[in-house]
Structure 1
Amino acid sequence: MIPSPTSAIPGEGTFSLAPDDPITTGSPQRTAITIGSPELTAVATQFLGDTRLDSPHLQLFSAGASSADAASAVRLTLSSAGLDVVPAAAGVRADGVEVDERYGLEVSPEGIHVWGATEEAVFRGLTTLRQLIAVHGTDIPCQRIIDGPRFAWRGLSFDVVRTFHPPETVRRVIDMCALYKLNVLHLHLTDDQGWRFEVAARPELIKFGSLGAMADRPGGYYTPLELAELNRYAEERFVTLVPEIDFPGHTGAVSRAYPDLTTELPGIPLPNGGHLEFHSLDPADPEVWTFVEDVVDALIPQFPRSAYLHIGGDEAWGMSDEAHAAFVRRAADLVRAKGKQVIGWQETARANTAPSDLTQYWLDIQDIDAISARPDIPEFLIEHLAKARHDVPKALERGSKLLVSATTYLYFDRPHAATSKDPAQEETRARVGLRAYQPATIQDGIAWDPVDNTPGVTSDDQLAGVEAAVWCETVTSRDDLEFLLLPRLPGAAEKAWSHTTPTDWPTYANHLAAQSPTWRHRGWTYFQCSEIDWH
């Protein structure tokens, strides 16, 4: 099981699921599933559909739901009995709602019982059962699991700008998140290379800003209907979509659509003789704030479940510190005035915004030191990295909670360090992943702790949660994307959910190996790294 549960006590024997047991209401035969509360019908239906996809050869279930008094293979109930032994999750939830996700799962010779205080908790328990079925087939070892998350925010930041990913690909990523109990998909919707959502008051953003992507790849955008469908799909799987507008820097797409709104900063010379050109939004320009309010007003209704709006705030190269701070403070005030909470990349800590604003920590000391030591790094980046050393202390000093996305452990656009067991994947391994980062192994992704490896942090209570990130500069296709996500994503989930630390590598490697049949059944591409003895 990934992530590993808080407590798993083995029992004697097994329980055998019968492949020919249908789900029928009031059947005199044993039924596949009993729903103890009407509220659990949706999670039971979702479980049955997922199990068919995870393990299509089993064909365990047909349709419908049984009455509560029928004998059944799986029984679902709303109850918190025995769950208080698991600590309540630290941090904050992206939907702004306090939800108890702790669950129990008991397999006995008589059947399987899954319970939790909320629908979401039962869904998490059924997700564990999905993994048990995928690994063990119809004969599930008897055991008692009591489990719950370490952190309330467990996410993935997904760059849909450098490469535009259509809704079907986003749904596949949501499914991956749900399988590993991640509950946030943070969509990076705007950047220099493109603009990915509609703003009715600013049609040029779609007409011009959405046309491209990185390296002349095709652009695109999500219509309000597509975003509504993605939000619904995610909500059914207890995943919250959190939107990001990246400003005041990273506004090249805005410049193409509305060139009068952005300030073109002087090109910065690079060691290879080229120049970097930057655009930013000037906080002293009243027209900029009309634009920002138009964008925020358009975005908020398209992500109704998220309590947060991410305002970016990173890498505003060429802006003065004073102008950057002024922009961040006013943007944060505007978002709060619209009824949303604020999250920004770690550079927003320099603006000394409200303690309630979340700070997404990404530039960790290991990478700052490694990148700064390289002779080919331009001076402007050296200066930026030097300032980044002080971001986390500033955020903690003002009382902001950190969302941990440290590059060393959680940036999935790193090259894979190990070779693949499939020689055909070696071309992809050589091509995909930013060479600015040192390659990383799968073991690197679990050989750390969110508290112990975050500077200045001594307690879970200082963190909002854990969020991995996949950036798509080198991603040319869905296969490339999944090649970076798998098998790394389960490791991020392990760090975000599991209370067990440190993670034992041999045990984790065995559990990870057992996930690959599910990935193949789903048609997901994964890096077949030589570190793992895949099933």
Structure 2
Amino acid sequence: MKRFIITILLLAFAGLSFGAENLPAIIPLPRKVVCKGKIAFTLTESTRILLPRNDKVLRRTAEIFVQTIAREQNLMLKIREKDSGEIRLTVDPQLAEEAYRLDITASGIDIRGGSSAGVFYGLQSFRQLLAQYGTVLPALQIEDAPSFGYRGAMLDCGRHFFTVDEIKTFIDLLALHKINRFHWHLTEDQGWRIEIRRYPELTKIGSQRSETVLGNNSPAYDGTPYGGYYTQDQLRDVVTYAAERFIVIIPEIEMPGHASAALAAYPNLGCIGEGYKVRTHWGVFPEVFCAGKESTFEFLQNVLEEVIKLFPSEYIHVGGDECPTKSWKVCPACQKRIQNESLKDEHELQSYFMLRIEKWLNKHGRHLIGWDEILEGGISQSATIMSWRGTAGGIAAARAGNKVIMTPNTHCYLDYYQTEHPQGCEPWGIGGYVPVEKVYSFDPYDQLAETECPYILGMQGNIWTEYIASMAHVEHMTLPRLAALAEVSWSYKGRDIEDFRRRMENLRKIYELCGYRYAPYFFDHAEVKK
């Protein structure tokens, strides 16, 4: 992979101080920036955005940008499809799909993308330039494209539920950072959050828990019923909202473990067949789907049939993590399955389970993603691995020829604390210590040979919500670490932590303009080099 090139030509600006502190401050770092040394263009209320005729996708992209700039810059731009315009948006098939080129000259601003997504990313960079320079813009040229095709973030809505409007706020955060995948964790031991019309008890019973443990798994509970789920109409609305911002939603339906809520609704799907409850505290529980019953697979396939109609994503995440095998060891149906399928043990039974679900997904035009536990007992060559227990699982999978998304808890778990001594200064986290600098230092290709690197699709940040019950808390844990993750996955070899600090001061302006409740620690302790 070629190293990113940052070209800055510093000439005298007419009436504009342009020292090192005033260089374009865009995150993620663009591949190439050329400053041409003069004030070029001033935006006014009469500035028009010119679109190709009858391009509905670009029109919606322009509308979103107009709404954003009206809020952030108090400037209402106009959209045109004929005559002329000062901000010209076009799709250029000669560019890579997510690449863009942004040119600011005396005649206006040209933003070209290899697709509508590329144009959208160009507008996000332009948005940051407006935050930095205001409406008086320097002459410059940006050529940019991402390093990784998969740039993701996961939000767990099983432990705590977030409203549709809150989910849209989270999607807006991702869009600002050029993140293109939203991994939506929808089922858990503590709550089933997706309407499945064929199985109404999943939401009637499985989405509700009687109370919630207080604090860090203390002996005390709040005594307050808790619940919530998304209707299919709401899910379609969110999918459309994300797609307009070029974000693909990957739903996660947990199996065979983390199934307490589903089993509370349909106890016949468990090995024992009775006594299941939606869990009220956190952890790993022995209640799992029975791998020996055909009714289990019939149920899960019926669930997935509705899921794939709601989510057009190529990938469906099926969990596969933290699945205790205690109940399988004593279940006659599971032991019979092991014997009939000539399996070695319960690890191979889980592989049988995953492979069977994967074959069903493949038959229906989708592909499976699972957490790295699905490597245990063997997996198919076509499964994609999400490596969370460090990078070892991802490295092993890439070396075996499987596609990999790197999301190690060592660098990418955004529910971990951001300071070494969080007591008294940080809200609840699950533990651990992952500051912005740690996220920024991550190398998704570490320990891989050049021939193995193409199997790494990209990386993802995860926000588990055992101790995160509000969107304010989500934003605090997400920002500004999401910016560091975005730069690793977009810019990769072009990274420089000190320059990142400088540029983050500009992105911070947008956080404040949008009212995002970011964590202050990185800014409070940073010495921005001028």
Q: How far apart, CA to CA, are the structure 1 residues paired with 2:254 and 2:191? A: 11
Residue 483 (str. 1) matches residue 476 (str. 2): yes
Cα offset, 1:406, TM superposition: 1.1
Give the one of 254, 258, 280 matched to 2:288.
280
Residues 481-535 of structure 1, C-alpha deviation per residue, up to 9 Å, x if partnerless?
Answer: 111001111111111111434x21111011112112211221211111123469x
Q: Secondary structure at the match of 1:33?
A: strand
Partner of 2:88: 75
- How does the TM-score come out when normalised to structure 2? 0.82
1:60 matched to 2:75? The reply is yes
Q: Which residue does 1:15 correspond to in 2? A: 40
Q: Deviations over 1:10-54 (max 9, x none)?
A: 111123323331xxxxxxxxx42222454232222221112223x
Residues in 1 aligned to 2:155 and 2:264: alpha-carbon distance in whole angstroms:
23
Q: Name the CA shift for 1:172/1:193 in 2 (closer, same or farther; >3 Å).
A: same
Q: Which residue of 2 aligns with 1:312?
A: 319
For the residue of structure 1 that corresponds to 2:258, the secondary structure is coil
Tell whether the 8 Å contact from 1:167 to 1:230 is kept in structure 2 after alignment.
yes
Q: Is the counterpart of residue 434 in structure 1 residue 430 in structure 2? A: yes
Note if contact 1:163-1:475 (Cα within 8 Å) is conserved in structure 2: yes
2:66 — aligned with what? Answer: 48
CA separation of 1:428/1:218 partners in 2, compared to 1, >3 Å: closer, same or farther?
farther
Describe the SS at the equivalent of 2:29. Answer: coil
SS in 2 for 1:64: strand
Gaps of 5+ in 2: 1-25, 214-221, 274-281, 327-345
C-alpha distance in 2 between matches for 1:226 and 1:48? 25
Do 1:154 and 1:466's aligned partners in 2 also have CA atoms closer than 8 Å? yes
CA distance in 1, matches of 2:452, 2:510: 35
1:474 aligns with 2:467: yes
C-alpha contact 2:386 2:394 (8 A) present in aligned 1: no
Partner of 1:253: 261
Paired position in structure 1 for 2:404: 402
SS in 1 for 2:112: strand
Q: Does 1:345 align with 2:363?
A: no
Q: Is the 8 A contact 2:250 2:317 kept in 1?
A: yes
Measured in 1, the distance between the counterparts of 2:285 and 2:79 equals 59
Q: What CA distance in whole angstroms lies between the structure 2 residues aligned with 1:44 and 1:165? A: 28
Return the match for 1:450 from 434, 444, 455: 444
SS in 2 for 1:467: strand
TM superposition shift of 1:411:
0.7
Cα distance change on mapping 1:134 and 1:419 into 2, 3 Å: farther
- 1:271 aligns with none
Task: Please tell me whether the aligned partners of residues 352 and 398 of structure 1 are also in contact (alpha carbons under 8 angstroms).
Answer: no
Please give the per-residue CA displacement for 1:347-396, whole angstroms capped at 9, x wherever unaligned. 1122433322211011116xxxxxxxxxxxxxxxxxxxxxxx5x345523
Partner of residue 380 from structure 2, selected from 350, 354, 357:
354
Q: What letter is aligned with 2:202?
A: L
Aligned length: 461
Could you give the per-residue CA deviations for residues 278-310 of structure 1, whole angstroms, max 9, x where no partner exists?
21112111111121112111211111x211111
| Cα pair 1:409 1:444 within 8 Å, conserved | yes
Shift of 1:264: 6.2
Structure 2 SS opposite 1:334: helix
Deviates more, 1:171-180 or 1:5-14: 5-14
Residue 32 (str. 1) matches residue 28 (str. 2): no
Residue identity opposite 2:416 in structure 1: R
TM-align CA RMSD: 2.4
Native 8 Å contact 1:247 1:281 kept in 2: yes
1:185-216 Cα offsets, whole Å, 9 max, x none, are: 01011111110111122111111100138536
What is the CA-CA distance between 1:176 and the residue it aligns to? 0.7
Aligned equivalent of 1:292, options 288, 297, 300: 300
Q: CA deviation at 1:245?
A: 0.6
Q: Which residue of 2 aligns with 1:514?
A: 506
Q: Which amino acid aligns with 2:375?
A: A
SS in 2 for 1:333: helix
1:332 maps to 2:340: no
2:441 partner SS: coil
Equivalent residue letter for 2:407: S
Q: How does 1:107-506 map to 2 (within 5 A)?
A: 107-212=104-209, 215=213, 218-263=226-271, 277-303=285-311, 305-319=312-326, 320-364=346-390, 391-392=393-394, 394-417=396-419, 427=424, 429=426, 431-435=427-431, 437=432, 439-452=433-446, 459-501=452-494, 503-506=495-498
Using the size of structure 1 for normalisation, the TM-score is 0.81
The alpha-carbon deviation at position 66 of structure 1 amounts to 5.2
| Contact preservation (8 Å) 2:285, 2:324 | no
Helix, strand or coil at the partner of 1:475: coil
* 2:219 counterpart residue number: none
Q: Which amino acid aligns with 1:517?
A: K
- Give the percent of matched residue pairs that are identical in Structure 1 and Structure 2: 29
C-alpha distance in 2, partners of 1:279/1:19?
Answer: 62
Q: Which moved more, 1:235-244 or 1:132-141?
A: 132-141
Structure 1: gaps spanning 5 or more residues:
22-30, 89-99, 266-273, 366-388, 421-425
Q: What secondary structure is seen at the aligned counterpart in 2 of 1:186? A: strand
How many angstroms apart in 1 are the aligned matches of 2:198 and 2:283? 34
Amino acid at match of 1:101: E
Q: Output the CA distance in 1 between the equivalents of 2:175 and 2:286.
A: 37
